[in-house]
């Protein structure tokens, strides 16, 4: 005769890894409260006689705790042994999981502590600056000059401003601004000690400012009938100037008196230069001639034959024994004159890629030139050799160049409203010497396109040059 079991009263529920386990006391199925006679079952509407006893269904819910208790002790003992094995295996898994978590945390610590050089295989640090950052202006820069005794740069712009900047390898700051003028400053030059700044203006005036205070010390309002294009202080009292009409004048600026005035050219005076002995003053002209003046007699000394293109700039080479002259010609020529003999050139440096607008001498033979194609190139004169491109101005004409007092920093300006700085200290290294070259060796045109270390543009072939080679190792994110 079968029997029916009612649901036991449970006292608790414990879960581990998704399995349900009974907690609490279990009542015996032989209890009278748990048994029902067949007559009582029929009376209470239970199942009919001779039916097979069934176990009541147990459904788990959030309010239900407990589980069905088996009737036999052997089954309970078997279940208890299985639970014990499950507890032991779970206890063994927990430390392993903790150890794996600790290992992963240690690996993360190792990755965080690793240096970028160890991860990528090459240095990710930014290189240290060797030149000041570019100076941005609101309008075009016409001229610029480094101070001969201090780390300062004077800049003149087309809107009539003159700004004085102090600079270092890391930065440049505006130190002083001179009073603005309605005219445009075209020429800038310092006195020998750097105490005074001479400037020539488009309205024909000459001005002298103090570099300590920026105050205007002297002004010659009608120094020239046309705009002043070039200025050169000669002594503590005398200053030379040239205008747009080809007139060269000497002034005693303390007495505000004109001491010489000669009109020998029909076009603008592009540049003025004089030797340390103060024997000759030489003027280059837009008509294609150079004219020398005797400073002792204050008369015209010599004028050369006219060239096919304007002569734009000049510089000394070979300990002031030679004079190099830049030419605004597509043929790219640089006539070389012997100092004191200006009637005809003695050598010509040919093959330049573009017109030359400015030049400065770094040594007795090393000259840096600014070209009309926006490139700044370094070359050697006598013997002739191109070293390569020092810097660029994005294919805009280079208008002016100036070299710092120690010769290690070059500044340039163009029509891009920028003053750019170039570290040219490497030009004084041994690899740029030309002692083993023949005196009249011909320069190779291909060398004029080489990019030197100061150039801010790298050749396409050097795009991957900073990556490690195969034999150097290194780990990359695609490995």
| Chain segment 127-139, per-residue pLDDT in tens | 678 899 999 999 9
pLDDT over threshold 60, residue 340: yes
Model pLDDT, residue 326? 96
Rg (CA), the chain: 46
Backbone angles phi, psi at 51, to 5 degrees: -80, 155
- Cis amide linkage into residue 383, ω under 30° from 0: yes
Taking residues 235-259, report their average pLDDT. Answer: 95
Taking residues 309-313, report their average pLDDT. Answer: 95
Q: Say how far apart CA 324 and CA 336 lie, in whole Å.
A: 5
Model pLDDT, residue 378? 94
* pLDDT band per the 50, 70, 90 thresholds, residue 451: confident
Write the CA distances from 146 to 53, 159, 164, 384, integer angstroms.
113, 21, 10, 28
* pLDDT band per the 50, 70, 90 thresholds, residue 465: low
- Decide if 190 contacts 198 (C-beta within 8 A): yes
Q: What share of the chain has pLDDT > 90, as a percent?
A: 55
pLDDT over threshold 90, residue 86: no
**Residue 357 pairs with which residues in a beta bridge?**
none
Model pLDDT, residue 92? 52
- Decide if 348 contacts 334 (C-beta within 8 A): yes
pLDDT over threshold 60, residue 432: yes
pLDDT over threshold 50, residue 299: yes
pLDDT over threshold 50, residue 478: no
Angle at 54 between CA 50 and CA 56, to 5 degrees: 145
The two three-digit tokens of residue 471, written as one number: 């034999």
Model pLDDT, residue 373? 92
Q: Which residues contact 37 (CB under 8 A, 6 or more apart)?
A: none
Q: Say how far apart CA 137 and CA 388 lie, in whole Å.
A: 28
- Decide if 405 contacts 147 (C-beta within 8 A): yes
Q: Say how far apart CA 126 and CA 130 lie, in whole Å.
A: 12
Q: Where are the beta strands (DSSP E) in 308-397?
A: 311-317, 322-327, 334-338, 347-349, 356-361, 366-371, 375-380, 385-392
pLDDT tens across 354-392, in order? 999 999 999 999 999 999 999 999 999 988 888 899 999
Model pLDDT, residue 41? 42
Q: Which residue has the tokens 């070059």?
A: 410
Give the range with max mean pLDDT: 31-45, 269-283, 320-334, 376-390: 269-283
């Amino acid at each position: 005769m079968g029997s029916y079991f009612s649901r036991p009263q449970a006292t608790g529920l414990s879960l581990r890894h998704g399995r349900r386990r009974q907690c609490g006391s279990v009542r015996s199925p032989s209890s009278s409260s748990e048994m029902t006679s067949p007559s009582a079952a029929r009376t209470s509407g239970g199942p009919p006689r001779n039916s097979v006893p069934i176990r009541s269904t147990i459904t788990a819910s959030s309010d239900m705790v407990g589980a069905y208790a088996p009737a036999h002790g052997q089954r309970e003992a078997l279940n208890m042994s299985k639970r014990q094995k499950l507890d032991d295996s779970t206890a063994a898994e927990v430390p392993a999981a903790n150890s794996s978590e600790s290992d992963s945390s240690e690996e993360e610590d190792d990755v965080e502590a690793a240096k970028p050089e160890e991860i990528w295989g090459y240095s990710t640090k930014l290189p240290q600056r060797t030149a000041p950052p570019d100076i941005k202006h609101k309008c075009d820069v016409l001229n610029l000059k480094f101070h001969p005794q201090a780390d300062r740069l004077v800049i003149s712009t087309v809107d009539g401003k003159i700004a004085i900047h102090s600079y270092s390898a890391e930065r440049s700051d505006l130190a002083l601004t001179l009073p603005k003028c309605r005219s445009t400053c075209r020429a800038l030059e310092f006195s020998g000690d750097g105490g005074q700044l001479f400037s020539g203006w488009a309205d024909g005036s000459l001005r002298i400012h103090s570099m300590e205070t920026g105050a205007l010390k002297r002004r010659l309002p009608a120094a020239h009938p046309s705009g002043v294009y070039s200025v050169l202080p000669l002594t503590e009292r005398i200053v030379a100037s040239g205008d747009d009409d080809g007139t060269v004048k000497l002034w005693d600026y303390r007495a505000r008196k004109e001491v010489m005035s000669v009109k020998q050219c029909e076009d603008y005076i592009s540049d003025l230069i004089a030797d340390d002995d103060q024997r000759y003053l030489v003027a280059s002209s837009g008509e294609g001639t150079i004219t020398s003046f005797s400073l002792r007699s204050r008369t015209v000394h010599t004028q050369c034959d006219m060239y096919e293109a304007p002569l734009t700039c000049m510089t000394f080479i070979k300990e002031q024994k030679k004079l190099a002259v830049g030419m605004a010609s597509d043929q790219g020529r640089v006539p070389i004159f012997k100092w004191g003999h200006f009637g005809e050139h003695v050598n010509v440096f040919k093959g330049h890629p573009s017109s030359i607008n400015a030049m400065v001498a770094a040594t007795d033979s090393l000259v840096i030139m600014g070209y009309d194609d926006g490139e700044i190139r370094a070359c050697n004169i006598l013997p002739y050799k191109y070293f390569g491109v020092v810097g660029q101005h994005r294919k805009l004409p280079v208008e002016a160049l100036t070299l710092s007092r120690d010769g290690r920093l070059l500044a340039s300006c163009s029509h891009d409203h920028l003053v750019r700085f170039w570290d040219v200290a490497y030009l004084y290294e041994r690899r740029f010497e030309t002692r083993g070259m023949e005196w009249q060796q011909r320069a190779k045109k291909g060398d004029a396109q080489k990019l030197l270390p100061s150039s801010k543009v790298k050749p396409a072939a050097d795009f991957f040059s900073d990556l490690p080679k195969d034999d150097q190792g290194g780990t990359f994110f695609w490995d």
